[in-house]
Structure 1
């Protein structure tokens, strides 16, 4: 009996042949589901960013980004600059020193 031919094993069942394929499809379906939801999230975020940046006069184009510049009148610009210079002058303390010297 030890030298006899081994009995042929039973052929694999259909379930054991199809199970790895089903597991592979399930994993691929899960990955596709996650990738689809990531795509939806990125599209939604991109739309919101484009809308908010559009409100601030920043537009994304194929060539890059275009920024709209707010028009400022020359007189307004000079007034704002002069007000900062006057504030800096007043905070430097030069007026106090000059007033004290005049009193003497």
Structure 2
């Protein structure tokens, strides 16, 4: 009679062990995803707190700021054209004999 009452106990222990294993695997996966998400969000200066999501301003060093602004100005300068511009120092059109007599007498 005692052996018959032990079978349900072993089945209960097996079910609890399987459910515990599945629960532990699920918990470890959730913790890993949370950790990876937190590190990716911190790289983008977004932090989750009890108050909600906080977005920080990315720190930019003064030298990096100057480099970026200078590169923008240089790119703008390089991609512009001045159709009505005539240089007084040299001929930008390529032909040496162009120009009126009044332009030659200015110098």
User: TM (normalized to structure 2)?
Assistant: 0.52
CA RMSD of the aligned region, Å? 2.2
Q: Which whole-Å CA distance do the structure 1 matches of 2:40 and 2:3 have between them?
A: 55
Gaps in structure 2 of 5+ consecutive residues: 77-107
Residue correspondence of structure 1 range 12-91 to structure 2 within 5 A: 13-70=1-58
Q: Which whole-Å CA distance do the structure 1 matches of 2:30 and 2:10 have between them?
A: 30
Residue 46 of structure 1 aligns to a residue in which SS?
Answer: helix
Q: Deviations over 1:32-53 (max 9, x none)?
A: 1100110011001000000000
Instruction: Give the count of matched residue pairs.
Output: 64
Instruction: Select the structure that is richer in helix.
Output: 1
Gaps in structure 1 of 5+ consecutive residues: 1-12, 84-104
Q: Which whole-Å CA distance do the structure 2 matches of 1:15 and 1:34 have between them?
A: 29
Q: Which whole-Å CA distance do the structure 1 matches of 2:32 and 2:46 have between them?
A: 18
Q: Which runs of 4+ in 1 moved over 4 A?
A: 70-73
**1:16 Cα offset (Å):** 0.9
Residue 40 of structure 1 aligns to a residue in which SS?
Answer: helix
